[in-house]
Amino acid sequence: MTFDLADRVQTVPPSGIRRFFEIAEERDEVISLGVGEPDFSTPWAARDAAITSLEQGKTSYTANRGRKDLRVAIANYVTDRFDLGYDPDEEIIVTAGASEAVDLAFRAFVDPGETVAIAQPSYISYEPGVIFAGGEPLAVPTREEDEFRLTVSALERAGASEADMLVLCYPNNPTGAIMTEADLEPVAEFAREHDLTVLADEIYAELTYEGEHTSIATLPGMRERTIVFNGFSKAHAMTGLRLGYALGPADAIAAMNKIHQYTMLSAPTTAQYAALEALSSCGSDVREMVDQYDRRRRFVLSRFREIGMDVFEAKGAFYCFPEVPAGLTAEEFAEGVLREQGVAVVPGDVFGAGGEGHLRVSYATGLSDLREALTRIEAFVDERT
């Protein structure tokens, strides 16, 4: 007898990464450029604060929305860094990773049958999240010739004017694309015109290597229709501590909090102490990590060009998105280079429409491993051309 699973769970296919994971397990000395998290440990001051909080027995629940001092620190931080103004009492909720916040948003704002447009390629959780909430995902493919930025013509081609909600993630996982204020303006106008709620996943905001990150919520008329997601996983290298947050209008955050209080209760307390310290004293650690990523970014882009693979100038996150040479699919390339050369990269199709024919290459790995991995990729490509 098979267990009686819910239809909306069964419709979601298993993650495309799974198969590669198994191949990598069989092989020794794999260098992984398939990783979506920093290679750095959490800055020591933040870890130390977490340890101290444990020693002091700070292990109970916190307020549903997170500790007040942390919400105040977040409010100050997003004002300083991104010009975002949110009230710590009413407009901020601290969650178990930004992922939880995104899930809360789908469940709080999407009615069954509503359409959610998703700029793709993108982080793999949005589509399943929409389906679990009973909504209908609508892929909005972006294109390499647009440097994987979301454009109004892409939105129109996909029929997003009929959608109820738009999800976008810039700096982007998996492409490394960023969107400047000028790039965001027409998208914001489209959202206003067609009355779309906007979910802006800005988890990689600090990892912007050219210019400053602009949040779409800062554009005119956008604050009241936008939820901004951010967190500590990427910039503060805290993935395993699971801590993120959402910013939005009071009624929207209250609705998200209603689900959060009945499911999560509160985000991990230890992680909240680490996060508070991260915001108060780890700015220079973050800058140092960002400098490191930027050097590696330039290194990896240079090497792909030397190898002769087309790669657009990724300016954010810690990914680049080179094109697979003619004659191979992304899947074939990723499997071949893993089996033959022991280098793990993720085929772009895993991240949805527009990702086919590309590879997500993470440079959240030390330079000596990057150097070796690129040498192996070069050998793989040379054998085929």
Partner 1 sequence: MSEREVLELLRENARYSTADIARMTDLEEPEVDAVIEELESAGVVRGYRAVVDWDKLEDEKVRAEVELNVELDRETGYGDIAERLARFPQVKALRLVSGDYDFDMEVEGDSIREVSMFVSEKVAPVPEITQTVTHYVMTSYKEHGIELGDGDEDDRLSFSP
Question: Which residues are at the interface with partner 1 (CB under 8 A)?
Answer: 15, 17, 20-21, 24-25, 30, 32, 34-37, 39, 41, 123-125, 173, 291, 295-296, 298-299, 302-303, 344, 346, 367, 371
| Gap between the Cα atoms of 365 and 209, Å rounded | 17
| DSSP output for 71-133 | HHHHHHHHHHHH-----TTTSEEEESHHHHHHHHHHHHHPPTT-EEEEEES--TTHHHHHHHT
Q: Which is nearer to partner 1, 124 or 191 (CB)?
A: 124
Query: What's the closest the beta carbon of residue 213 comes to partner 1, in angstroms?
Result: 21
* Residues in CB range of 337: below 8 A, 6 or more apart: 343, 345, 376, 377, 380
Helix (H) or strand (E) holding 336: helix 330-341
What H or E segment, with its residue span, contains residue 347? strand 346-347
Report the nearest approach of partner 1 to the CB of residue 189 (Å).
31
**Rounded (5°) CA angle 297-187-114:** 110
- Nearer to partner 1 (CB atom), residue 221 or residue 240: 240
Antiparallel, parallel or unpaired: β 165-169 and 115-120: parallel
How far apart are CB 344 and partner 1 at their closest, in Å?
Answer: 5
Least separation in angstroms between CB 130 and partner 1:
16
Of residues 21 and 83, the one with the C-beta less far from partner 1: 21
Q: Residues 46, 52, 55, 57: is their CA dihedral positive or negative?
A: negative
Task: Quote the least distance from Cβ 255 to partner 1, whole Å.
Answer: 26
Helical pair 44-55 and 269-281, crossing angle rounded to 10 deg: 140
Q: Considering beta carbons, is residue 173 or 269 the nearer one to partner 1?
A: 173
Query: Least distance (Å) from partner 1 to the CB of residue 288?
Result: 10
Minimum gap (Å) between residue 91 Cβ and partner 1:
28
Closer CB to partner 1, 86 or 351, in the complex: 351
Nearest CB to partner 1, comparing residues 20 and 273: 20
Other CB atoms closer than 10 Å to residue 249's CB: what's the count?
17
Of residues 81 and 371, the one with the C-beta less far from partner 1:
371
Report in angstroms how near the CB of residue 350 gets to partner 1 at its nearest: 8
Of 138 and 237, CB closest to partner 1:
237
Read off the tokens for 108.
Answer: 């709080």
Least distance to partner 1, CB of residue 37, Å: 6
What 3-state class would DSSP assign to 13? coil
Q: How far is the CB of 103 from partner 1 (least distance, A)?
A: 14
- Distance set, CA 44 to CA 39, 209, 310, 384 (Å): 14, 24, 39, 45
DSSP string, 208-255: B-SS----GGGSTTTGGGEEEEEESTTTTT-GGG--EEEE--HHHHHH
Helix, strand or coil for residue 344?
strand
Rg of the chain, C-alpha, whole Å:
21
